[in-house]
A and B are shown apart, each in its own frame.
Chain A
């Protein structure tokens, strides 16, 4: 094991003595992550502000009596520029301008609106219509419509309904009251549970991928691997040294990603939600933390082994990157599956499936529902797969065809 230790030391020295490498591997991703998240938050926040502050252009034809008063009273008039049209005026041009995004809304009341409401006696009598023209493209029009319905139309309807039946309370049979007893931890867990497994799977792999190809195919190409193969150090130890050092480096890179993401998330949410309280909080128990770390370590080992096997078999770094890409996509899809499969009951066996099983285990863990059996299966399945890969790598290291292209 001494040989492996010396190799690990050298691999870590290689990375940490190189300021450029440290910057591009660990500093840049963190800066970029926080930057991108802040930018997204800023843009979403801006967009929302923009929609709120936008003055919509609204046209109303045949406005019945009392409508204008309600518009003023409700404050809807402050967010919209309302133009009243005479009966019979052609609205085709207005509809076009809504379609083009130059105006937001056209409301057409049937002629003799109030008379028709008043004339209503029994079922089958004519009910007058309000036609609402809007567009779902862009945000302005739908927001203008929703606001109009909530602030003006529904109140206008209540007013007229009141006139017809007198006491509106007659229409209320019972009141509802709601009390949200949500466990905030669990809710936070759900939000994180949907995102995190996916992000973790993806980040770990990215780390392993960028480092593994250079550390193995790169060394093969440069002819530096062979100098190690000339020493009496056992091939298993060389493989072990490579895998462990890569695992350490990928873990650090994953931690950098995760920490910067956790740091960036509130920044993003803050600019979206303003001063409102963040929608989730989450607390982990010590056991959960340890379980999460163990699962992640198993995953790091698997990913590093996967990338290393590809890297050792490839003749050039270019070739290695070509082969790694499809694996990368599989990893992404496996992570994504868990995002969209929340709630579906999974069989125990599925926890033992590497990558996928880890992702659903992390999901359960964040919900506080991970059983020990599921945990064991998830870690066991992954480690077993990684061990098989390690055996293949060692075999490849012993092969002159693979190592010397002979």
Chain B
């Protein structure tokens, strides 16, 4: 289970960042008092426009960032108090984190498997299964820098799952993928759910969220606008689909800033 309680994350900006974001404030509140809960056996979708704070929230869950205020716990372990325990049970995929371009998918898979203390036999079995599923065998010995965006993404997904984690956190996993490959990824997320894993994905593709997610959290401008099943969200706004519902919230929450 993932429990995000009153999470606030403030970035301190340096001069260059302030110029880039055209702001005079030296701090940026990327996530503002957000509370979310996601449970095993469900796919939780984190929705929000660009810059809403999705990646920041997920990084806090993945122990890479420490909450400025509030707390995050994964499988009962606090991300600040016991980050090692959290890291053991999660897989985290985000587009800024990459595999070493000079190595092959196979080498990276084995490397992270061994780094996580998994025995070679298990690593080999896991690799067979994942490389089979994502069709990585064809390029498993090529250097990652020589792969296409889609191939890289497939390799990154496979490597991130080497330790068969209980919690899978994917930040825009279908970003840059064609519809066939994207469907392959979302189908695998369903398989993971069926195996009892907790899957949390961020996306701005509404149709994908509608089909895939059991529960949805919408964040806009760092704040939680809504949380619930698709039906609950549609009922709350009286909209006919998620996109309309999303715009309702967007109007409401964007104005307030």
Contacts and interface: CB of A to CB of B under 8 A. Distances in A.
Interface string A369-406: 00000000000000000000000000000001101101
B101 interface: yes
A230 B115 contact: no
Nearest to B159: A227
A6 B115 contact: yes
A5 to B, nearest CB: 9
Contacts of A18: 102
Interface stretch (A56-64, A160-168, A218-226, A276-284): A218-226
B84 to A, nearest CB: 4
Contact of A404 (B64, B85, B87, B114): B64
A14 B112 contact: no
B99 A229 contact: no
B88 A232 contact: yes
Contacts of A219: 100
Nearest to A229: B64
A400 B59 CA distance: 11
A2 interface: yes
A347 interface: no
A226 B96 contact: yes
B98 A223 contact: yes
Contacts of B84: 232, 234
A293 interface: no
Contacts of B191: none
A231 interface: yes
Contacts of A228: 115
A9 B85 CA distance: 25
Interface string B80-96: 00001101101010001
Contacts of A224: 97-101
A128 B100 CA distance: 86
A12 interface: no
Interface string B105-133: 00100011011110000000000000000
A231 B12 CA distance: 26
B66 interface: yes
B62 A6 contact: no
Contacts of A2: 117
Given A2-B117, A222-B98, A230-B92, A400 B112 contact: no
Contacts of A406: 11, 65
Given A229-B64, A404-B65, A14 B115 contact: no
A396 to B, nearest CB: 15
- Most A CB contacts (10 A, CB to CB) among B64, B88, B107 go to B64
B204 to A, nearest CB: 21
Interface string A203-227: 0000000000000000100111011
A346 interface: no
Nearest to A18: B102
B103 A14 contact: yes
Chain A, interface size category, equals 20 to 34
Given A230-B97, A406-B11, A400 B65 contact: yes
A397 to B, nearest CB: 12
A266 interface: no
B1 to A, nearest CB: 19
A404 B97 CA distance: 10
A227 B159 CA distance: 10
Given A224-B99, A406-B65, A6 B92 contact: no
Nearest to B102: A14
Contacts of A226: 64, 96-97
A10 B63 CA distance: 24
Interface in B27-84: 59, 62-66, 84
B97 A227 contact: yes
B98 A230 contact: no
A231 B112 contact: yes
A406 B100 CA distance: 22
A159 interface: no
Contacts of B103: 10, 13-14
Contacts of A222: 98, 100-101
A3 interface: yes
Given A6-B115, A7-B115, A230 B64 contact: yes
A226 B59 CA distance: 11
A233 interface: yes
B244 to A, nearest CB: 35
B123 to A, nearest CB: 12
Contacts of B98: 222-224, 227
A80 to B, nearest CB: 66
A404 B59 contact: yes
B65 A232 contact: no
A65 B107 CA distance: 92
Contacts of B11: 406
A223 B96 contact: yes
Contacts of B115: 3, 6-7, 228, 231, 233
A14 B100 contact: yes
Given A2-B117, A230-B92, A232-B88, A400 B66 contact: yes
B237 to A, nearest CB: 33
- Most B CB contacts (10 A, CB to CB) among A2, A6, A219, A228 go to A6
Which 5 pairs show the lowest CB-CB distances between chains A and B?
A: A232-B87, A223-B98, A226-B97, A232-B84, A224-B100
27 contacts: A3-B115, A6-B114, A7-B115, A10-B103, A14-B103, A17-B102, A222-B100, A222-B101, A223-B96, A223-B97, A223-B98, A224-B97, A224-B99, A224-B101, A226-B97, A227-B112, A230-B97, A231-B87, A231-B112, A231-B116, A232-B84, A232-B85, A232-B88, A233-B115, A401-B12, A403-B64, A404-B59
Interface of A: 2-3, 6-7, 10, 13-14, 17-18, 219, 222-224, 226-234, 400-401, 403-404, 406
Interface of B: 11-12, 59, 62-66, 84-85, 87-88, 90, 92, 96-103, 107, 111-112, 114-117
